[in-house]
């Protein structure tokens, strides 16, 4: 059974481990200061954006929604605020050069880069060879959790914006539209000559299918 970090027994167990350093990735909660004070070399976080841009729970989705061409990974020390601590290392990544259909596929690539960067950075951090760089907090931007309503497609928006939403919000919380009173989940699309071409859909209560197959079965 999982327990909260607020549970005193969890802290006591953690202290007994006596860790030298702790590594965190995709953990969206504040870590209490008493935990942060235990490891000699702190808590190190892999964050999939170039901080201080896109702090918070959804940096990859927000990057895609905004149509950014570049992103990256930051290795940072955790403090008592969200993605606020000093940066040990960062590495940029060109979204334009990478073929993917949703934010999960981009996330896997970024965390591969993050893992390699962590392996390179940790020894230097422990040996004192890196001076942690405080972020420019005045330039910080913040992300939010996305919900099902965020995924509703507005067909009057430009094609680039619709395509960005489909890539950004799949597989969760998903993008969708309605047709004859039914929900159609739009799973994959491509942008071809400035137009959105839907590739994969899922009708409510049914399995995913190629959009072409849906069209053949619904001539209207």
Using H for helix, E for strand and C for coil, what is the string for the chain? CCCCCCCHHHHHHHHHHCCCCEEEECCCCCCCHHHHCCCCCCEEEEECCCCCCCECCCHHHHHHHCCCCEEEEEEEECCCCCCCCCEEEEEEEECCCCCCCCHHHHHHHHHHHHHHHHHHHHHHHHCCCCCCECCCHHHCCECCCCCHHHHECCCCCCHHHHHHHHHHCCCCCCEEEEECCEEEEEEEEEEECCEEEEEEEEECCCCEEEHHHHHHHCCC
Q: What are the residues whose beta carbons fall under 8 Å from the beta carbon of 176, sequence distance 6 or more?
A: 148, 151, 152, 153, 183, 184, 185, 186
Rounded to an integer, what is the distance from CA 114 to the centroid of its chain? 12
- Cβ pair 181, 159 in contact under 8 A: no
What distances in angstroms separate CA 126 from CA 42, 44, 118, 140, one per listed residue?
A: 10, 11, 12, 27
Tens of pLDDT, residues 25-76: 988 788 999 999 999 999 999 999 999 999 999 999 999 999 999 999 999 9
CA distance 124 to 168: 34
User: How buried is residue 59: exposed, middle or buried, by Cβ count under 10 Å (0-12/13-18/19+)?
Assistant: buried
Under the banding of pLDDT at 50, 70 and 90, the label for residue 2 is low
Quick: pLDDT tens for 114-153. Answer: 999 999 999 999 999 999 999 999 999 999 999 999 999 9
At residue 56, the pLDDT reads: 95
Partners of residue 189 on adjacent β-strands: 198
pLDDT for the residue numbered 26: 86
Instruction: Over range 161-169, report the average pLDDT.
Output: 98
């Amino acid at each position: 059974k999982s327990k909260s970090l607020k549970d005193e027994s969890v802290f006591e167990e953690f202290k007994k481990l006596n860790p030298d350093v702790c590594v965190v990735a995709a953990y969206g909660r504040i870590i209490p200061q008493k935990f942060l004070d235990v490891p000699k070399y702190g808590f190190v976080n892999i964050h999939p954006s170039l901080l201080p841009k896109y702090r918070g729970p959804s940096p990859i989705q927000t990057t895609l929604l905004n149509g950014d061409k570049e992103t990256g990974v930051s290795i940072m020390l955790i403090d008592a605020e969200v993605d606020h601590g000093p940066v040990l290392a960062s590495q940029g990544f060109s979204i334009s050069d990478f073929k993917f259909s949703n934010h999960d596929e981009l996330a896997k690539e970024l965390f591969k880069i993050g893992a390699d960067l962590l392996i390179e950075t940790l020894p230097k951090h422990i040996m004192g060879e890196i001076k942690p760089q405080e972020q420019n907090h005045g330039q910080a931007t913040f992300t939010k959790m996305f919900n099902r309503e965020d995924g509703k497609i507005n067909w009057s928006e430009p094609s680039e914006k619709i395509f960005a939403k489909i890539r950004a919000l799949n597989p969760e919380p998903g993008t969708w539209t309605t047709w004859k009173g039914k929900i159609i989940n739009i799973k994959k699309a491509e942008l071809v000559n400035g137009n959105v071409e839907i590739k994969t859909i899922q009708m409510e209560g049914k399995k995913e299918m190629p959009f072409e197959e849906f069209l053949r079965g619904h001539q209207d």
